[in-house]
Every structure is written in structure tokens, then in C-alpha cells.
Amino acid sequence: MHKSSAGPLALAYALLIVYASLYPFVGWRDQGVEPWAYLGAPWPRYWTWFDVGTNLVGYAPLGFFAALAVLRSRLTSAATAIVWATLMGAALALLMEGLQSYLPQRVPSNVDAALNTSGALCGALAAWGCERLGLLGHWSRFRSRWFDRDARGALVLLALWPAALLFPAPVPLGLGHVMQRLEDAAAALVEDTPLAMWWPMREVELQPLLPITEALCVALGALAPILLACAVMGAVSRRALAALVVLVIGLGVSSLSSALTYGPTHVLAWWGATAQLGFVAAAGAAAVLVWLPRRACWALLLLALTLSLALLNQAPEGPYFALTLQVWEQGRFIRFHGLARWLGWVWPYLALGLALWCVSRPVRRSDN
């Protein structure tokens, strides 16, 4: 029996909701109003269908994964699973709206809380519907045939990878670009303190990556999820199909991110010569990697992520990239900004930790 991925996915999505709801985490203040006062507030005068849709849809995955986790436990009935998932969504929504009363850039709303709760209920009902239709049973049999028993961590990371690609990166598929931000944050933290004179400062400004280096980063960014999939799969034909799906998803989500940022007419603005070369190199490498043993895939994933992060974090955030981030950090993209940004930052480091753990564990028969 394998462990379900629904529980970790529900937890990960709940954490993303917390970040998106409380971003940018600055300016906390007490206005002398109870955090539950919004529950008795009148209907908001200004609202858009976009806000209604995002509040409703935003909590649906949480309800789906939470209900699915309870259903897969086989410890309770479907009705109880729906109730628990809806209550979880309602509790989180009420808590987030209450905490927003302390943030200057947020306005708590009873309508938002109701929509969030309704979204969690819809997601829970969708999970129950999938169970009644036998779709969950089909998925269980499919997973047993295609993936290892302990593939839960890898499947969660593979499910989160497309969302991580939504946030703009200095290099296509280049996740984990955090070093410059960490250095700036650390320097600001020790500024005007005795530690400032001892803090190491970068003496040489970061230079833009060479085209061949950028293409290598694109290739490594595509190979990381391919190696992750191959490490928990056996048959070569299935690995090859997974590699093709990863490349198609990478192409599609990168185009979607470009369209969200610059408009539908610029859907392929990112698809330059270096990106094309990187995708071709990744496809060629994947044709060889699908034949490797599982343990070798974990080891190569560890190497690919280390090299990718080392190269990518030598790239500066140029003015063009900074303008891209401003587009995401303003207006309606603020609702997606927190969700995608943290995924784009931490995804390769989570995959790195998983690969390190799998490489260091004792050799098993299934690793060959």
C-alpha cells in the first residue's frame, strides 16, 4: 500500500493560502476594532467578478485535497469527509480575514470568507464525486502500476512544479533564484549594527549570463522534473512519456506566465534562441536518462539541481526583469504573486532535499 499525496498537498496549499492572504506582511497595526467585526459588516459596495471567482476557486483545491485525504484514510464516511474539509476551509478563511484587519493593504470581508468557504465545499464535493465515480480507484491503480510505493514526495513536487513556473524568472524554467535577494535582505538586517563592518559584501557586480550558460540553465530546469519522475518510475516507455509531458507542461506554463504578464499577444515572448536550445538539449538528454536506474536518477537530479542553482544565482535581476516583477506585484496579480513566488523560490531546494535523502538511504532492490 502506498501513502496518499492528498494530505501533504492540502497542507502545502493551506500554507500558500496563508502567504497569499497576508502578503506583504508589513505595517501590522491595531485599529481598535475587533478582528471579527467584519462578520457584521454590510455588503461591500465595490466588487468585481474577478474577485468573486478568485475567492471561490482559490479555496477549492484545499477542500478537494483535504476531503481526499480523509476519504483515503478509510476511517470515516464521505459525508464526514466533506464536513471536515469544509470546516477546515471555513476556519482558515475566517482566520485569514480576521488577521487582515491588522494589515493596511488588506480589507477583511465577510463576503470573501463566505466565498472561500463555498469554494472549499465545492472542492470537497468534487472529491466525493470523484470517489463515487470510481476515479480515485482508477488513480490508485494507475499510481500502483506507474510509480513506486514511496513516490508521495516526488508526486507532490511534480504537482507543484507547474505552479512554480508561473512566477517570472530571470531565465526560463530557472527556479530558485534567491541569492541576490537573500544578500540584500541580510545586508539590510545588519545595517547600522556592529555586525555591518564584519558582514561580507559582494565586491564584483553580478554579470548577465552568457547565452550558452542561460541555455544550460533552461535545460537543467527542464531535466529536474524529468529526473524526479524517472526516479519513481520503472518502465522506459512510461518514463519517456513522462519526459514528454514535462516538456509540454514547461512550454505551456511558461507561455501562460508570459501571457499573464504582458498580454496574450506576447505569449511566446520568452521563447528565444537560448530557450529553444535549452529545450532541445533537455529532450536529447532525456532520451538517454530514461534508461538509467532509479538511484542513478536521484544522483543526477542532485547534481543537476546543484549546478542549476549555482549558475542561476550568478544572474542579476536586470531592469527588464525588475519591470516584470512590478507587473506581477501590482493590481490583480497580487493574488497570485505570493502563491507562485515562494514556489518558484523553494521548489528546487525541496527537490534537492528529497534527492539528497533518497541518495543517502540504504540501497533497495527497487532502486535498480
How do the pLDDT tens digits run along the chain, 368 residues long? 446 678 888 888 888 788 778 876 777 787 777 777 777 777 767 667 767 777 888 899 999 999 988 887 766 778 888 999 999 999 999 998 888 888 877 778 888 888 899 999 999 999 888 878 877 777 777 777 888 877 888 988 998 899 888 877 788 898 988 776 666 666 666 666 776 666 666 555 667 788 999 999 999 999 999 999 999 998 899 999 999 999 999 999 999 888 876 777 778 888 989 999 999 999 999 999 999 999 999 999 999 999 999 998 887 665 445 555 555 554 444 445 556 777 888 899 999 999 999 888 776 655 55
All three cell numbers of 305: 539541481
All three cell numbers of 341: 513566488
Q: What's the CA dihedral at 16, 22, 26, 29 to 10 degrees?
A: -150
Domain co-membership, 12 together with 127: yes
234: Cα separation from own chain's centroid: 26
Distance from C-alpha of 285 to C-alpha of 330, rounded to nearest angstrom: 39
Using DSSP's 3-state secondary structure scheme, residue 288 falls into helix
Domain co-membership, 116 together with 168: no
Q: Over the Cα atoms of the chain, what is R_g?
A: 22
Does residue 154 fall inside a structural domain? Answer: no
Determine the pLDDT at residue 332.
45
Q: CA torsion sign, 296 to 297 to 298 to 301?
A: positive
Domain co-membership, 290 together with 260: yes
Domain co-membership, 123 together with 206: no
Please, what is the end-to-end C-alpha distance for the chain in angstroms? 20
Closest by CA to 293, choosing from 247, 239, 352, 220, is 239
Does residue 152 fall inside a structural domain? Answer: no
Give the predicted TM-score (pTM) of the model: 0.72
Determine the pLDDT at residue 201.
60
Q: CA torsion sign, 184 to 190 to 191 to 194?
A: negative
Distance from C-alpha of 345 to C-alpha of 365, rounded to nearest angstrom: 34
Distance from C-alpha of 160 to C-alpha of 241, rounded to nearest angstrom: 19
Domain co-membership, 187 together with 130: no
Which helix (H) or strand (E) covers residue 238, if one does?
A: helix 236-262
Determine the pLDDT at residue 141.
77
Pair 287, 202: CB distance under 8 Å: no
Domain co-membership, 122 together with 229: no
Does residue 330 fall inside a structural domain? Answer: yes
Does residue 81 fall inside a structural domain? Answer: yes
Determine the pLDDT at residue 351.
94
Domain co-membership, 79 together with 178: no
Domain co-membership, 141 together with 166: no
Domain co-membership, 226 together with 335: yes
Q: CA torsion sign, 10 to 11 to 13 to 17?
A: positive
Does residue 137 fall inside a structural domain? Answer: yes
Determine the pLDDT at residue 226.
96
Domain co-membership, 247 together with 342: yes
Distance from C-alpha of 175 to C-alpha of 340, rounded to nearest angstrom: 11
- β-bridge partners, 233: 147
Residues spanned by the domain of 356:
160-367
Does residue 153 fall inside a structural domain? Answer: no
Give the position of cell 459596495: 45
Closest by CA to 100, choosing from 35, 48, 50, is 35
Number of separate domains in the chain? 2
Does residue 100 fall inside a structural domain? Answer: yes
Does residue 1 fall inside a structural domain? Answer: no
Domain co-membership, 62 together with 168: no
What Cα–Cα distance (Å) separates residue 42 from each residue in 109, 110, 114? 9, 9, 13
